[in-house]
Structure 1
Amino acid sequence: MSGPPSPLIKNYLRKAGFWHMVNIGRGCKLDSKLISAFIERWRPETHIFHLPCREYIITLEDVQLQLGLSVVGSILTVPG
């Protein structure tokens, strides 16, 4: 993110339990070579990283645990 979120969506983020996500990654230095290495090993058709030692799958539970997301409550969807 380049800056704080718009005041128009702050309440929606809080209500959905995503407000803490606004600060994820701030102050972190990104390693472009590491990111490129992971991109080269990602297989989008299977959602698996093919690494020299073995294959790794990232699940929704992994994302939930890493980002501290709540999995309790209603599902948010966009009509259409």
Structure 2
Amino acid sequence: MPRLRRAGPRAAIRRPVAAATAMVLGLLTLAYARLHAWETRAREEDRDGGYSTETVIVTALLVILALAVIGIIGRALIDKANSIDL
């Protein structure tokens, strides 16, 4: 009867990495297949799936507002941090 070799420490590291890699590749393949199916169905049903002009404008305004708020808060935080004496 042949003797079985024990796996070394590298094998213990390779197994989880290989499993994680296989899982990520499987999820990417599934996502690609799902997106391809949606695109095919949309083309068959002759839908463009586009946004209206109003939706695009409102979204752009919300993004601009969010960037302005982030800028104001960021500037306030930087000023406050610079005013601290050590």
Normalising by the residue count of structure 1, what TM-score does the alignment of the two structures yield?
Answer: 0.26
Greater strand share, 1 or 2?
1
Normalising by the residue count of structure 2, what TM-score does the alignment of the two structures yield?
Answer: 0.25
RCO higher in 1 or 2 (8 Å CA, sep ≥ 6)? 1
